[in-house]
Amino acid sequence: MKNAPSLSLLIMLSGLCACQPAENVQSPAKQSIAQASNTIMTLAALDGSMPNNIKLSNAKGQITDQGLEIDFQSKQHPYASVTLVPDEPYNWSEFSDFNLAFDIANKGKHSVQLNLDVSDIDGNNYTRSVNVAVSGKHTYYGKMSGHDLATPKGDENIELNFNSGLRSNPATWEGDDIQFISMWGKKNLNLNGITKISLSVQNVLHDKSITLSNIRLRKNQAKNPEFLTAIVDQYGQNAKLDFPTKIHSDEQLQLITANELATFKDTTRPDRSKFNGWKQGPKLNATGYYRSEKVDGKWWLVDPEGYLYFATGLDIIRLSNSTTITGYDFDQSHIAQKAANDLTPEDSQGLNKVSDKAVTTRFVSSDLRKNMFAWLPSYEEPLGKHFGYRRSVHSGPVKHGETFSFYSANLERKYGEQFMDKWRSVTIQRMLEWGFTSFGNWTDPSFYQNGQMPYFANGWITGDYKTVSSGNDFWAPMPDVFDPEFAVRANMTASVIAQEVKDSPWCVGVFIDNEKSFGRPDSTTAHYGIVLHTLRRDGAEVPTKAEFTRLMQQKYGDIAALNKVWDKEIADWASFNQGINSDINNEQQIADYGILLGAYAEQYFKTVHDAVAKHLPNHMYLGSRFPDWGMPIEVVKAAAKYADVVSYNSYKEGLRPDKWAFLKELDKPSIIGEFHMGASDSGLFHPGLIHAANQEDRAQMFADYMQSVIDNPYFVGAHWFQYMDSPITGRAYDGENYNVGFVNVTDTPYPEMVEAAKDVNSKIYQARFEQ
């Protein structure tokens, strides 16, 4: 870092106390040095002997003249870390307007995604992340508190709580230092007691290494009061930063478009069947539809003509998730509310335009959001057709409001008034050119009858069925699967999907729902959250609770027998059904909770399976796409019992054999429904869940992930999330503003990703069959 403290001062600070405030150190040079570097406190200099409070886990470290050189044994272990654990919790309550900073270099072979976890005495944790590119030393920082400067009313704590509606804001000051990206957890920690600071490498495919030379607290630099003002240009791009794929004029956009269209050629592949199966491989029984089969110890899909098929493709080939909240709203009396028979979540629908009458009532609902845009059209302009509306918003400063799709507007700029027809045609051509074998999940149904590219259909089960809770329902409460209304709604959903699919042989299979909160791996109580919370409720009102009562009464007969095993004092089965203290006392109780969670999951998957089998008898049921944060083994086994293919969303650098060893016991075909990598050289403020150093690194990480899928005998494919980048100001519903697209907001492809896809897709069949 420029003007950093001298090594001699840092060693002195570290030797005096691991948490010595700089202003209390008696040194003639301390005042000028501290002011120049904004250093408040040095926690560890890491350029002398190894401090006692630095702990390494699954890593090797040595002190050199460069600092602490750490080799994470991350290829052998899913978690490797370096952790600063003070003898007594740090009390930083006297400080405000400050950040935690690290000097880090990477002289290894691979970029390193470092997860920064800071924990407090209340048991809270805040996780951030950053990619450390292969390079010399840089300073990386994460704010512990925001600037002291006042913020507009209603936008308090915007810097840490992200009331902006973005998953990650732009930096509040300019400079060469790199900010850790916010991920999850409690952002405003209890500064009276910080118990742990950890840098970790998690679930990666390669060994990683860094050199850590200084950990300190610094005063935040002067805040740019306009860090969230006019950050988006007329194309939906970063207005304040240049980058390789940035568009500066309509003429440039049209020229790039014409150049791409001129490269399109005949996409016939002699090694591919009509349905993108492997024509040069063994030919199996042809059923006219997709199915699965195990061949020579490996699971495969089989295309309608009987050829081996491996699914690769992109998710979100639709405009539904391309909109962002503008900061305007309308009189709610003019907003059509959701109909009772509506089966599609609003964020899976189109623009949802408001009426002309509603437009006359338009008003500013959030100055913060409105001021992010350097340009928005009027409703009278041609591009005004790309406004829409969201009746509900998951996060951000407003609960509902107007939206705009820059991506959709750019399509009109590129292709003219008939832009949707041209976009569909170009998208199909791209998928064929890039070698993908399918459209992934959440493809617009208008592609279902395209007759050139296989696809995966999808649906959601929504409605007024009763619900239960896992205690941490990320997207929405869980359905009460024993409520008869749930089966009614499942059948309605399957019926609608069947009408869209029209029994097409191009439909590989059907996903229903997504990332359900069946339970989390954080703790035993999180794992069995559905059981814990449901047992506390009244079976007269909660059908799932009544079923839990029946199952336990069937097992134990006498309530005294259950009391003895569970170490409870429940009066009788009627009291049990009315609601009990479900706190866990012993292992036997956990085993019973596993039975109950399994029963809940079996009812869910059986109900959905039966609905799909009834309405789409020729198509595979592909499960609910487990998130890797929510896949309790009891639930996974239930899915394997009823789904033709079990689906998972796994946001890691790749599939590690140790993580997926359980698949051997299940012996079911599996598919990755979502994964991605992103980088900050795209102009977006958040790379995504998995960070790359740049676009070249992102492309290589894509190839590495796909190879790990190909190498696993149980996986039959993987879909990248998603086709286009998120809006820079966040998706309208949940604020995701990730660089995860194969194309950016101007529908311009990332050439590095395209070339990587072409290479991977050209080799998938030989690589999998011949390994």
Question: For the chain, how big is the Rg over CA atoms in Å?
Answer: 27
| Contact predicate 265/427, CB 8 Å | no
Which candidate, 649, 659, 700, 658, places its Cα nearest to that of 677?
700
Q: What mean pLDDT comes out for the span 8-24?
A: 34
Which pLDDT value is given to residue 158? 60
List, for residues 723-736, the tens digit of each pLDDT value.
999 999 999 999 99
Which candidate, 462, 165, 176, 502, places its Cα nearest to that of 338?
462
> What is the DSSP code string of 639-702?
HHHH-SSEEEE--SSS--TTTTTTHHHH---EEEEE---B-GGGS-SB--SSB-SSHHHHHHHH
% of the chain with per-residue pLDDT over 70: 93
Which pLDDT value is given to residue 696? 98
Which candidate, 729, 722, 718, 610, places its Cα nearest to that of 655?
718
**What proportions of the chain, in percent to the nearest 5, are helix, strand and coil?**
30, 25, 45
List, for residues 251-299, the tens digit of each pLDDT value.
999 999 999 999 998 889 999 999 999 999 999 999 999 999 999 999 9
Identify the residue with better confidence: 320 or 552: 552
34: amino acid identity, one letter: A
Which pLDDT value is given to residue 353? 93
Which pLDDT value is given to residue 7? 27
Q: Which residue has the tokens 């609902």?
A: 365
**Model confidence at 30: pLDDT above 80:** no
The two structure tokens encoding residue 4: 């950093």
Is residue 395 very low, low, confident or very high in pLDDT (cuts 50, 70, 90)? confident
Which candidate, 564, 568, 597, places its Cα nearest to that of 581?
568
Longest pairwise C-alpha distance within the chain: 84
**Model confidence at 396: pLDDT above 90:** no
Question: In angstroms, rounded to a whole number, what is the distance separating the alpha carbons of residues 593 and 591?
Answer: 5
Q: What mean pLDDT comes out for the span 703-720?
A: 98
Is residue 32 very low, low, confident or very high in pLDDT (cuts 50, 70, 90)? very low
List, for residues 92-104, the tens digit of each pLDDT value.
999 989 999 999 9
**Model confidence at 693: pLDDT above 60:** yes
List, for residues 587-606, the tens digit of each pLDDT value.
999 999 999 999 999 999 99
Question: In angstroms, rounded to a whole number, what is the distance separating the alpha carbons of residues 561 and 553?
Answer: 10
**Model confidence at 182: pLDDT above 70:** yes
Which pLDDT value is given to residue 339? 76
> What is the DSSP code string of 457-526?
EEE---SS--EE--S--SSSPEE-TTSHHHHHHHHHHHHHHHHHHTT-TTEEEEEES-S--S--TT-HHH
Can you give 314-365 as a three-state secondary structure string?
ECCCCCHHHCEECCEECCHHHCCCCCCCCCCCHHHCCCCCCCHHHHCCCEEC
List, for residues 433-449, the tens digit of each pLDDT value.
999 999 999 999 999 99
653: amino acid identity, one letter: E
Question: In angstroms, rounded to a whole number, what is the distance separating the alpha carbons of residues 125 and 196?
Answer: 9
Q: What mean pLDDT comes out for the span 636-658?
A: 98
Which pLDDT value is given to residue 26? 30
| Contact predicate 180/144, CB 8 Å | no
Is residue 37 very low, low, confident or very high in pLDDT (cuts 50, 70, 90)? low
| Contact predicate 15/225, CB 8 Å | no
The two structure tokens encoding residue 110: 């691979």
Which candidate, 448, 453, 103, places its Cα nearest to that of 277?
453
List the domains of the chain with CATH numbers: 7-219 (2.60.120.430), 324-404 (no CATH), 413-535+591-770 (3.20.20.80)
**Model confidence at 193: pLDDT above 80:** yes
Which pLDDT value is given to residue 148? 55
**Model confidence at 347: pLDDT above 90:** no
Is residue 44 very low, low, confident or very high in pLDDT (cuts 50, 70, 90)? confident
**Model confidence at 48: pLDDT above 90:** no
Which pLDDT value is given to residue 45? 81
Separate counts of helices (H) and strands (E) for the chain:
19, 34
Q: What mean pLDDT comes out for the span 387-415?
A: 95
Which pLDDT value is given to residue 1? 36
* Average pLDDT of the chain, as a whole number: 92
List, for residues 229-253, the tens digit of each pLDDT value.
999 999 999 999 999 999 999 999 9
List, for residues 670-686, the tens digit of each pLDDT value.
999 999 999 999 999 99
| pTM (2 d.p.) | 0.93
Taking CB atoms within 8 Å and a gap of at least 24, the contacts of 633-637 are 633/662, 634/594, 634/597, 634/598, 634/601, 635/518, 635/519, 635/597, 635/598, 635/601, 636/662, 636/666, 637/598, 637/601, 637/666
| Contact predicate 745/687, CB 8 Å | no
**Model confidence at 34: pLDDT above 50:** no
CA-based end-to-end distance of the chain: 48
Which pLDDT value is given to residue 20? 41
**Model confidence at 3: pLDDT above 80:** no
Which pLDDT value is given to residue 349? 78
